[in-house]
């Protein structure tokens, strides 16, 4: 910049310089830097996964011992225990089972959050049918009806993680049923502006619209007074997995009763 006096005669120059050599990495150097950071991130992911599985194993070992000895005590001495003693024993067994479920769900959440996902063509109808068989065997709920409107379509995603998503959505629909009505679940899909949305509808207790986002948070249990089994992690797994797929999730009321959970994929 040229500076002049009042008559317009040149006085001096101001020259500004900036050293950008640090920004001028070559393509090779930039590629090496990206590779190094990617490798470091993969190593940290593997370390985190190994750490979580080790902790889970170390926690479950004494937990299995507690549950096992509680069962022995119940089998061998239930007839000699007073009513209070039997009640305490049942509480021990129930707490051990809940803690074991919590550890398993935390491992599931860690896997969905950390483990690299395989991108493959997956038939959603096949995934849902496998999950339904698993849910029926796990729950054994009388009068359970699950209607699948096939075909549900195909998506590019990680098959194992998709199963985890549907296990949580369908199990959730079974758990949060109304006492006076057998659970009825309907699963179908629809195209929405280049996306595939899958619905899981139920006739259960429903979700208050005020909590339609909160319900997907970690450890959220909106009806603790019902003493429904669960850890409050299942829907957080659904949310995290769909985020990693680049998709979305949500819930709406299902009139006259129940909920309509949905997950949506890019085609």
- In angstroms, the CA 197 to CA 266 distance is 9
194 and 89, same structural domain?
A: no
pLDDT at 157: 92
- One digit per residue, the tens of pLDDT, for the chain of length 267 reads 656 666 666 666 666 666 666 566 566 677 787 878 877 777 766 676 677 667 767 777 888 889 899 999 999 988 898 999 999 999 999 888 888 878 877 777 777 777 778 889 999 999 999 999 989 888 778 889 999 999 999 999 999 899 999 999 999 999 989 988 899 999 999 998 889 999 999 999 998 888 889 999 877 666 655 556 667 788 999 999 999 999 999 999 998 899 999 999 987
pLDDT at 188: 97
In this structure, what CATH number is given to the domain that contains residue 75? Answer: 1.10.287.130
pLDDT at 225: 54
What is the secondary structure of the chain as a DSSP string?
-EEE-TTS-EEEE-------GGG---HHHHHHHHHHHHHHHHHHHHHHHHHHHHHHHHHHHHHHHHHHHHHHHHHHHGGGS-HHHHHHHHHHHHHHHHHHHHHHHHHHHHHHHHSPPP-EEEEHHHHHHHHHHHHHHHH--TT-EEEE-S---EEEE-HHHHHHHHHHHHHHHHHT--TTS--EEEEEEEEETTEEEEEEEE-SS---GGGTTGGGSTT--S-GGG--S--S-HHHHHHHHHHHTT-EEEEEE-SSSSEEEEEEEE-
Of 114, 139, 166, which residue sits at a domain end?
114
Tokens (6 digits) for 190: 């629809």
177 and 78, same structural domain?
A: no
187 with 149: CB under 8 angstroms? Answer: yes
**Any domain includes 212:** yes
134 and 90, same structural domain?
A: no
- In angstroms, the CA 136 to CA 130 distance is 10
Structural domain of 84 = 27-114
66 and 44, same structural domain?
A: yes
Peptide bond into 56 cis (omega under 30): no
**Any domain includes 75:** yes
Q: What is the tally of structural domains in the chain?
A: 2
pLDDT at 28: 66
124 and 90, same structural domain?
A: no
Nearest partner of 246 among 177, 158, 141, judged by Cα: 158
pLDDT at 232: 77
Instruction: Give the global pTM.
Output: 0.69
pLDDT at 229: 63
250 and 164, same structural domain?
A: yes
129 and 203, same structural domain?
A: yes
**Any domain includes 10:** no
162 and 107, same structural domain?
A: no
């Amino acid at each position: 910049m040229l500076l002049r006096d009042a008559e317009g005669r040149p006085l001096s120059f101001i020259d500004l310089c900036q050293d950008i050599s640090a920004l001028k990495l070559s393509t090779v150097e930039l590629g090496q830097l990206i590779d190094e950071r990617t490798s470091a991130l993969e190593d940290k992911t593997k370390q985190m996964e190994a750490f979580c599985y080790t902790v889970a194993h170390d926690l479950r070992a004494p937990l299995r011992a507690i549950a096992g000895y509680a069962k022995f005590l119940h089998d061998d001495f239930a007839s000699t225990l007073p009513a209070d003693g039997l009640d305490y024993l049942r509480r021990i067994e129930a707490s051990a089972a809940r803690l074991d479920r919590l550890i398993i769900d935390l491992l599931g959440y860690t896997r969905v959050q950390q483990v690299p996902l395989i991108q493959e063509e997956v038939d959603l109808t096949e995934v849902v049918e496998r999950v339904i068989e698993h849910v029926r065997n796990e729950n054994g709920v009388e009068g359970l009806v699950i209607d699948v409107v096939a075909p549900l379509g195909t998506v590019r995603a990680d098959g194992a993680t998709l199963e985890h998503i549907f296990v949580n959505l369908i199990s959730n629909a079974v758990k949060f049923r109304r006492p006076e009505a057998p659970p009825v679940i309907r699963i179908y899909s629809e195209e929405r502006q280049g996306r595939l949305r899958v619905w899981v509808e139920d006739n259960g207790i429903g979700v208050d619209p005020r909590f339609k986002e909160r319900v997907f948070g970690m450890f959220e249990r909106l009806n603790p007074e019902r003493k429904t089994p669960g850890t409050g992690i299942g829907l957080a797994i659904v949310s995290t997995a769909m985020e990693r797929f680049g998709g979305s999730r949500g819930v709406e009321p299902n009139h006259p009763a129940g909920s309509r959970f949905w997950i949506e994929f890019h085609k």
